[in-house]
Structure 1
Amino acid sequence: MGFSISLFFLLLPLSFQFSSSLFSLIKGSSLSVEKQAHDFILSPNKMFCAGFFQVGENAFSFAIWFNEPDTHNPTTVVWMASRDQPVNGKLSKLSLLNSGNIVLVDAGQITTWSSNTASHAPVKLHLQDDGNLVLDDPQGTILWKSFDFPTDTLLPGQPLTRYTQLVSSRSESNHSSGFYKFFFDDDNVLGLQYDGPDVSSSYWPQPWLISWDAGRTNFNSSRIGVLNSLGLFSSTDNFSFVTSDYGTVLQRRLKVECDGNVRVYSRNNVLQNWYVSWQAISSGCVPHGICGPNSFCVYVHASGRKCLCLPGHRLKNHSDWSQGCEPLFQLTCHRNESMFLEIPNVEFYGYDNHYVEISNYSACESLCLQDCSCKGFQHSYSDDKRFYRCYTKTQFLNGRRSQVFQGTTYLRLPRSNSFSHKEHDRESLNDHVCSVQLQRAYIKTQANHYVKIFLWFSITLGAFEVICIVLIWCLVRTRQKSNREGYHLAGTGFRKYSYSELKKATKGFSEEIGRGAGGVVYKGILSDERHAAIKRLNEAKQGEGEFLAEASLIGRLNHMNLIEMWGYCAEGKHRLLVYEYMEKGSLAENLSSNTLDWSKRFNIALGTARVLAYLHEECLEWILHCDIKPQNILLDANYQPKVADFGLSKLQNRNNLNNSSFSMIRGTRGYMAPEWVLNLAITSKVDVYSYGIVVLEMITGKSPTTGVQNIDGEESYNGRVVAWVREKKSGRSWLQHIIDPALQTNYNESKMELLAKVALDCVEEDKDIRPTMSQVVEMLQSVP
């Protein structure tokens, strides 16, 4: 007994030190809102904190924010657990239950948020260096992570997927869900949408443009967008951008704002202020719903954005412009009792009751007067077609004034009105939707004196138990760690599988779907029912750290035409990579089965060129694939190509393009560039050459691996296909002689001829004559 009391007092000071900052929560432990200044979880690099954040009068939310030690109140929140239902400032806790579930309890009574997880293992909740709050078990199996449930912010490496969306806050001071969403729509296009109380509409990219005209593609199945720490954002709909400070690793965050814009903020460290390094919309009045119904937005560079009610209307709520304005008059159906007030350079998007492509003012006015529901009309000039168009309006929404807009809005008013838009302009207000204040507040409850004593006793006893558990757990973890030689913490951002998991998923590696120099690929079904391609590499000679570095490289790459890596296994001598499964198999299989028409072949060539251009020119380091061939180009359900198998890939330094650090010949006979045989410097042009051979194979249906000997019987590095095509090109109607007989005459001659010429340029023996992959993309896109 005496020893126990001594141990208690010995460990008591440690309990206060422990509560000041945690690196993880274990089962049975919790964070208290009443100790929010000291009770928080800290990431190992001390860049991020997770704890209670005050959002209003006696109102708190559990959140993650950038750690700023000199600031008492967090200013840069990146995630919230229960943004629409904050908890009381008394008796509220975030707890990791013994069942493995994380719960946020309001005032000790109501559960307002839960991770909905369960585990019998000794799980822990910890904050990673990238700002991801993760609940996992000792084997590294992730049960829950905050990256899967974003609020209004995306951090570098955090994917935006088909299952997630960013939702703006209500205002800068009110963190509850607002009206603006950043997500992939049903057409697989990433965009912004206003989702207000009464109406919703998309406004970016420009809604009147089809996806191709907006530079997007909806032919993808994965729907994923990622911002990296260098400042590059890319998504599967072909949308990408780089920040103004691209190329340097900085603290970054992408946020959808309460004003309807998406911005990327950067800073070098906590001593510097955040600055905008990219934004989606340059004009402040483009987002819909900014000023509400019957009002319009005006942007002045010196003073910023303002909202104005239409003449004859008054503001509904002086603290919330999103509710718009209401009329001070009533219209009748008698056309003789109406007049129209001219409001130049003001346009309203949507809710056109009638549209007349060619109309003068009198016809447009008459059209509106014939309709009792018409509240006015818009008369605008078309630069393209050189005439005026008429839009009659049933509602005035999404209004803005712009000097670029060559048109006028005519507001329908009673003839007896005395309203003037010039007088109204002088009454302009600076308030807008982001000025809304948090309206929720909690009443502080008076706790019973005896309850307080019992509560403090329970807390002290609980702290003692937690400390003992933590000490025992730390001893066990230390012993386990010392027994695992060669173990390395993988900061790859994707899952680590055990060998037994993957053996079970592949049914003992029974269904082989491909093989290469690096290893054999098997089909498997993971525990979450996803079909996967699992590559079992040949027996590893490299250490786990080196393997994880290479795996991390593949995991960081992101392109719609690049195979997606889901995880890896590094256990003992076993090295395995887990990829998404491609339904249509490889390009080689489809060419041999004659399942590809000319348009599919052209799109495969274009998609492959795009991803090689990405690898060669858009990554910080140049990545050479070194084994481009039909077996390594996989096709999804829509026959979109995805390049796979980086077993032979090599990083190249941008600043030394002619330096070759390859110690052996890499690639596959028939597809290899002459530099390999002639012992010349290896550059990205080896991939260009291999790409050209693949394209020739798609056009002709002839494999370069057949007949690879020249006249003298010596082995040739390019086979007979290139020479045969060049010979046919010198004659008339050459395309007809080389085209794959399976296509017959069913092809676009101009596109296929361009494809053949580009392929021949790519297989020039002199590497300096060959185009770059970005030039190949430009040439292939030049044909409509």
Structure 2
Amino acid sequence: MGLPKFLILFLFAATVAWRQQQFPGLPSLSEGSSLTVEKESDLLVSPNGTFSSGFYKVGTDAYCYAIWFTNSTNKTVAWMANRDEPVSVRGSKLTLHKDGNLVLTDGVGSTVWSTSTFSNAGVEARLLETGNLVLINQSKGVIWQSFDFPTDTVLQSQRIVKKTMLVSMRSQGTYLSGYYNLKFDDTNVLYLIYNGPIISSVYWPSTDATVFYSKRTPYNSSRIAILNEAGQFRSNDNLNFNASDYGVVPKRRLTIDYDGILRLYSLDESTGLWEISWLSRSVKACQVDGLCGEYGAQVVFNSNDPEAERNRNWYMKYLIGFVGSFAVIEALCVGLTWWYLFGKHAHEELSNIAGYMALAMDFKRFTYAELTRATGNFKQKIGKGGFRTPQNILLADHLEPRVADFGMAKLFKDIHGIRDSYLAPEWMMNLKIDVKADVYSYGVVLLELLSGRSASSFLSTGGQYNEYNRLVHWVTEMIREEGLEKVIDPRLHHEFNTKLKRLMKVAMSCVQEDRKARPAMSKVVELLLENDE
């Protein structure tokens, strides 16, 4: 005997009322309906209330449409629609149009974000218990889902595929897209990548060795990875791991955090707090590109491991030896250049050197009386100095070169005369940087010595010179149009001879735009000493 119809309706109404009391919000959004920023109760809630979806405050009068864990402290976000273009409170809304398109508009009605979907079969929006926001037609087919467009987080049962890319937050509490990515590359390997405004590079797994060293494999081209309900992560490239609290009970999320570290979190629903249940032990904080400064890096050794201690000692010896050797070679090359130009006539040309250095280094020698008058008996500040290159190459007795403030330029973000004047083109084009970049800088210094012109003086020139180095461009054009003699500084008081030709040949070979065409510094020394009697 069936239940009376009124009793069925009563039980259904009671169930709906109980659910709304337990999980405030809507189970779905039908065509023509909207969620607004002004009404905090305008939410979509998953069947068991694990996830909520609505407008999430990201700043002063700034909101993003998001999905978050309902029972977590501070409503931890799992997905955002418009993370890089927040909307204001007044007039902004999310609407499911009758053509099946879910659209987010701002206060003036402009479209900020949409699913770009179309269906005439009747569509509704639902938030599933997995945290997946879906558009479903009348035949229960999914025509769009948020799982296909993740932000910085992957949820349980959500797949990472060929086109998937996780993008970190910009910083803690700032939901704008950051600089760290997780994605499959063309070699079928899941990589962590730093994609900054200046450089871009892979930092996990390490590129110092093959992917096989990290127990990965590039041979499976399916490019699929998934975090299952039990806390197992499985990827086609052999990146496999389990949560430390393996099991189906905790809710979990895999997030690439703002610091570039990939972490698996498990939710303690009794406290609403997250606990780390996995992270890559092979990634240390300062090994993540950009985290310890643009070019910062950290090498970490275990002091309790004798082998690690031996490695540390070897590494430090190698590092000190390398830096010291490079400084010696650089000083030697500069010294040889000056010896070529002035070595045999130094006693006759000391008076000319002052004028030459003033031209090349923008320095002028002032007497004490002049300084007293200019500063009002040293009471008025008339300016301040700064770090520039190669003005830190100083001359001691007998014209011996000395390099001052070695390496201090690294402490400054932007130094007049460095970025455009002395850096190799690969610095400006985000290409790989190696020792050939230093060869280029040496070549610019050599051109300054030969031409008597300061590279930094070309920065204010508004002409047609090459954006990477105007001095190099000027020398090249002058040689092509008027000959090499017009480039050499007349203050040298040398006849145009084979030595100057050789020096110019070395300088021009050092400033080749293609770094592969530049000689090694050992070859530069060999060329400078060639046929020297």
- TM-score when scaled to structure 2? 0.55
Trace 1:462-481 onto structure 2 (pairs within 5 A): none
Q: Aligned pair 1:164/2:222, yes or no?
A: no
Matched residue SS, 2:273: coil
Q: Kindly tell me: are residues 94 and 298 of structure 1, through their superposed partners in 2, closer, same or farther at Cα, counting changes over 3 Å?
A: farther
Which secondary structure does the structure 2 equivalent of 1:285 belong to?
helix
Structure-2 residue corresponding to 1:51 = 54
Residue 338 in structure 1 maps to residue 403 in structure 2: yes
Q: What is the match of residue 353 of structure 1?
A: 434
Residue number in structure 1 paired with 2:30? 26
Tell me if structure 2 keeps the 8 A contact 1:284–1:299. no
Once residues 182 and 223 of structure 1 are traced to their aligned partners in structure 2, the CA distance between those partners, rounded to angstroms, is 13
Structure 1 residues 372 and 230 mapped into 2: Cα distance closer, same or farther (>3 Å)? farther
Instruction: Give the whole-Å Cα distance in 2 for the aligned partners of 1:373 and 1:234.
Output: 54
- 1:370 Cα offset (Å): 4.3
1:251 is aligned to 251
Letter of the 2:65 partner, please give it: F
Distance of 1:181 and 1:25 partners within structure 2: 32
SS of equivalent to 1:94: strand
Q: Aligned residue for 1:290?
A: 291
The CA deviation at 1:295 is 5.2
1:175 equivalent in structure 2: 175
1:294 deviates by 5.7
Letter in 2 for 1:330: R
Report matched runs for 1:210-221 at 5 Å.
210-221=210-221
Separation of aligned partners in 2, 1:273 and 1:173: 16
CA separation in 2, counterparts of 1:371 and 1:208? 30
Aligned 8 A contact 2:285 2:291 in 1: no
Q: 1:89 to 1:230 in 2, by over 3 A?
A: same
Find 2:65's aligned residue among 62, 66, 86.
62
Aligned residue runs from structure 1 range 125-274, under 5 A: 125-269=125-269, 271-274=271-274
Shift of 1:268: 3.7
Amino acid across the alignment from 1:287: V
How many residues were matched structurally? 318
Paired AA for residue 329 in structure 1: F
> For residue 77 of structure 1, what is the aligned residue in structure 2?
77
Matches of 2:279 and 2:202, distance apart in 1 = 17
**2:71/2:272 contact within 8 Å kept:** no
SS for the counterpart of 1:175 is strand
Q: Which has the higher helix share?
A: 2
* Partners of 1:235 and 1:295 in 2: CA distance: 31
Q: Is the 8 A contact 2:287 2:297 kept in 1?
A: no
- After superposition, the Cα gap between the structure-2 partners of 1:371 and 1:205, relative to the gap in structure 1 and judged at 3 Å, is farther
CA contact (8 A) 1:188 1:237 kept: yes
| CA shift in 2, pair 1:199/1:155, >3 Å | same
What secondary structure does 2:83 align onto? coil
SS of match in other structure, 2:147:
helix
1:230 CA displacement = 1.6
Q: 1:276 to 1:163 in 2, by over 3 A?
A: same
After superposition, the Cα gap between the structure-2 partners of 1:353 and 1:299, relative to the gap in structure 1 and judged at 3 Å, is: closer
Per-residue CA distance 1:557-592 (angstroms, 9 max, x = gap): xxxxxxxxxxxxxxxxxxxxxxxxxxxxxxxxxxxx
2:369 corresponds in structure 1 to none
State the 1:352 CA deviation.
4.1
Q: 1:81 to 1:328 in 2, by over 3 A?
A: farther
Deviation at 1:229, TM superposition (A): 2.2
State the distance in 2 between where 1:367 and 1:199 align: 21
State the shift of 1:170 in Å. 0.5
In the TM superposition, residue 197 of structure 1 has moved relative to its aligned partner by 1.0
Change (3 A) 1:255 1:339: same
Correspondence 1:613-692 to 2 at 5 A: none
Deviations 1:522-567 (A, max 9, x none): xxxxxxxxxxxxxxxxxxxxxxxxxxxxxxxxxxxxxxxxxxxxxx
Mapping 1:539-618, distance limit 5 Å? none
User: Partner residue of 1:450?
Assistant: none
Q: Which amino acid aligns with 2:156?
A: P
How far 1:249 sits from its partner (Å)? 3.0
Correspondence 1:452-531 to 2 at 5 A: none
Residue 176 of structure 1: SS of its match in structure 2?
strand
8 Å contact kept, 1:79–1:150: yes
**Maintained 8 Å contact 2:289/2:296:** no
Aligned AA (1:42):
V
Q: Specify the code of the residue in structure 2 equivalent to 1:260.
A: G
The structure-2 alpha-carbon separation of the partners of 1:102 and 1:85, relative to structure 1 and needing over 3 Å to count, comes to same
1:215 deviates by 1.4
Show structure 1 runs of 5+ residues with no match: 1-13, 302-326, 344-349, 356-365, 375-784
What CA distance in whole angstroms lies between the structure 1 residues aligned with 2:257 and 2:59?
19
What letter corresponds to residue 151 of structure 2 in structure 1?
Answer: T
Deviations along 1:226-274, whole A, 9 cap, x unmatched?
Answer: 1112221111111111122223431100000110110001124253411
Q: Aligned residue for 1:91?
A: 91
Change in 2 beyond 3 A, CA 1:89/1:141 = same
1:138 deviates by 2.4
AA aligned opposite 1:115: T
- Distance in 1 of aligned mates of 2:270 and 2:125: 25
Question: Are 1:101 and 2:137 counterparts?
Answer: no
Q: How far apart in 2 are the matches of 1:214 and 1:295? A: 23
Query: Contact 1:332/1:372 (CA < 8 Å) preserved in 2?
Result: no
Q: 1:143 to 1:174 in 2, by over 3 A?
A: same
Residue of 39, 44, 62 corresponding to 2:42:
39
> What TM-score results when the alignment is normalised by the length of structure 1?
0.38
Q: Is the 8 A contact 1:232 1:240 kept in 2?
A: yes
Distance across 2 between alignment mates of 1:82 and 1:114 = 9
Helix, strand or coil at the partner of 1:147: helix
Q: Which has the higher strand share?
A: 1
Paired AA for residue 338 in structure 1 = V
1:116 Cα deviation after fit: 0.6
- 3-state SS of the aligned residue for 2:175? coil
Per the TM alignment, residue 75 of structure 1 is displaced from its structure 2 partner at its CA by 2.9
Deviation at 1:297, TM superposition (A): 6.1
Distance 1:200 1:328, change over 3 A: farther
User: Is contact 1:226-1:235 (8 Å) kept?
Assistant: yes
Gaps of 5+ in 2: 1-16, 303-384, 395-400, 409-430, 447-533
- CA pair 340-64 structure 1, distance change in 2 beyond 3 A: same
**Residue 192 and residue 279 in structure 1: after superposition, are their counterparts in 2 closer, same or farther (change >3 A)?**
same
Deviations 1:48-101 (A, max 9, x none): 0000000111000000000028x6xx4300000011001111110000001110
Give distance in 2, aligned partners of 1:41 and 1:272.
20
- Once residues 116 and 445 of structure 2 are traced to their aligned partners in structure 1, the CA distance between those partners, rounded to angstroms, is 50
The answer for the alignment partner of 2:387 in structure 1 is 329
